[in-house]
C-alpha cells in the first residue's frame, strides 16, 4: 500500500495494488474509488483532503508488515 499526498492540489491517493484502474466510482463528492478489471479495489482518491481528513497524524496499528518505508 502506498499513500501519496499532492499539496499543489490538496489530494491524497491511497494505492492498494499495482494493478491498473479499469473503473472509477465517485462515492461522495471528491472521493473516488478505483477498481481493476476484476472489480478489485486498487486505489482511493480524495480531493480537498486537508478539509476532509486529518493529515497531521498517521497511525498504523497491528499491521502484518514485512517491511516499512517512510519518506517525507
Tens digit of each residue's pLDDT (9 = 90 or more) over 34-60: 999 999 999 999 999 999 999 998 887
Domain hosting 9: range is: 2-51
Domain count, the chain: 1
- Contact between residue 10 and residue 48 where contact means Cβ atoms under 8 Å apart: yes
Classify residue 70: in a domain, yes or no: no
Cell of 16: 492498494
Cβ-contact 7, 15 below 8 angstroms = no
Q: What is the pLDDT of residue 33?
A: 98
| pLDDT higher than 90, residue 69 | no
Instruction: Measure the CA angle with vertex 29, ends 13 and 14; round to 5°.
Output: 10
Q: Is 46 within a domain?
A: yes
Please work out, in degrees rounded to the nearest 5, the angle formed at the alpha carbon of residue 35 by the alpha carbons of 3 and 12. Answer: 25
- pLDDT band for position 72 (50/70/90)? low
Examine residue 12 and state whether it is found in any structural domain, yes or no: yes
Amino acid at each position: 500500500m502506498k499513500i501519496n499526498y499532492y499539496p499543489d492540489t490538496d489530494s491524497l491517493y491511497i494505492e492498494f495494488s499495482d494493478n491498473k484502474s479499469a473503473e472509477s466510482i465517485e462515492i461522495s463528492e471528491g472521493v473516488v474509488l478505483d477498481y481493476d478489471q476484476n472489480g478489485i479495489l486498487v486505489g482511493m482518491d480524495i480531493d480537498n483532503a486537508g478539509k476532509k481528513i486529518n493529515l497531521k497524524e498517521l497511525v498504523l496499528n497491528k499491521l502484518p508488515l514485512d517491511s516499512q518505508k517512510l519518506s517525507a
